[in-house]
Amino acid sequence: MRIETVTAKVFRHSSTIARDSDGHGHPGPAVPASSALFTITSYTGVQGHALTRAPDVDPAVLDRFVRPNLIGQDPLRADKLWYGIYKWQRLSGGLLTDRVLAMVDLALWDLIGKASGQPVWKLLGGHKDKVPAYASTMCGDDLPGGLATPDDYARYAEWLVQRGYKAIKLHGWMPPMPGAPDVRKDAAACAAVREAVGPDIRLMLDPHHFYSRSDALWLGQRLEALDFLWMEEPMEEASMSSYQWLSSNLTRLNILGPETAAGKHWTRGEWVRNGACDMVRTGVWDVGGINPSLKIAHMAECFHISCEVHGTGAGNLAVAAGVPNCTYYERGLLHPFLDYEAPKEYQLRIDDEMDSDGYVNLRDMPGLGQDLDFDYIDANLI
Ligand code: XYH
Ligand code: MG
């Protein structure tokens, strides 16, 4: 099998996610938006697709870094092809991002699945045909009846439990929200949620990402008292020693990371080796795709720790199901004002339908398991 073409389509749709000045998403009015469909096609006509953001398919980036490494190559040799592109990152001047690597990697795995007639989650190891989801809330806001108070979080958590979730992760209030950051307000929301849902629902916190060591420790100690499972990214992740310090000063709360630190599987290996986390994190869009995510999960397995996958979507779901040591699938981000279950205009089905018991059941369809509306995409090209 050989790759014949590498193509991309940018298409319009609407979005109800408004971004604040720090980039966090909140519910908003429907506004025009765009996304991209990246496609790798073999000479036999088999296609692999990755849904991504429009900037990731910059024609200059595809021409300079992606096509020269893919055209004419055997798509089944995905890790070799990944390395061929990855090595060009060093002198790309920042143009060749981990997101571009992830986009190529996901499309290759989708093609491999289509060519073999197998779902990718089985090709990655096939450990789970259903994965428990945790509800990952949006960051706190100042919307009346939204996520503006600890009681708002508590009422929403009760609704999430009724929906079937057995685990809930709060994203706290973050700048530029008024009064944020504030560890005491974060702790109040966590206490209100624990009070509302009782002791059997697993709870986690993803707070402001730039707290001091003392604030992160104070918050972590409160979460231990509330029997939280993990806290992630309370400080700048470039300071691995701060996470070594935090993890060594907490006994019952797991520190999960790194999520956004650069360095792919190499950095995650250093964090595990140096005791900077109790659970390690990957996410296909954070580390350059499925291939590096597998390496992180398998490394973590050697140290008997879990590898919790960051983010929603078919690629992350395939990794979460494929490996033995991912506990949950992150489903979100969720908000009382948004209907997460409704497919986007370009989807026939969402990637991660969840049953009433809180499980996302994996699909047996070949490839990543995306169910895209190609007619909509072709009718809305930019
Ligand atoms: O909005 O800061 C944030 C969150 O951190 C979000 O970016 C991300 O989805 C996450 O951390 N999920 O765990
Ligand atoms: Mg996070």
Distances (CA, A) of 75 to 84, 113, 116: 12, 11, 12
CB of 49 shorter than 6 A to ligand 1 = no
26-39: pLDDT as tens digits: 999 999 999 999 99
73 C-alpha vs ligand 1 centroid, how far in Å? 36
∠ CA 149-155-158 to the nearest 5 degrees? 145
HEC string of 277-344 equals CCEEEECHHHHCCHHHHHHHHHHHHHCCCCEEECCCCHHHHHHHHHCCCCCCEEEEEECCCCCCCCCC
* DSSP states of 211-247: --HHHHHHHHHHHHHTT-SEEE--S-TT-HHHHHHHH
10-58: pLDDT as tens digits: 999 999 999 999 999 999 999 999 999 999 999 999 999 999 999 999 9
CB of 24 shorter than 6 A to ligand 1 = yes
Q: What are phi and psi of 63, to 5 degrees?
A: -70, -40
**Of 161, 86, 40, 102, which is closest to residue 310 (Cα–Cα)?**
102
303-348: pLDDT as tens digits: 999 999 999 999 999 999 999 999 999 999 999 999 999 999 999 9
274 C-alpha vs ligand 2 centroid, how far in Å? 21
* Cα separation, 202 vs 62, whole angstroms: 43
Report the SS3 class of residue 359: strand
DSSP state of 81: H
CB of 208 shorter than 6 A to ligand 1 = no
∠ CA 19-234-227 to the nearest 5 degrees? 115
**pLDDT-derived band at 273, boundaries 50, 70, 90:** very high
Predicted TM-score (pTM) of the model is 0.98
Query: Residue type for 98, please?
Result: D
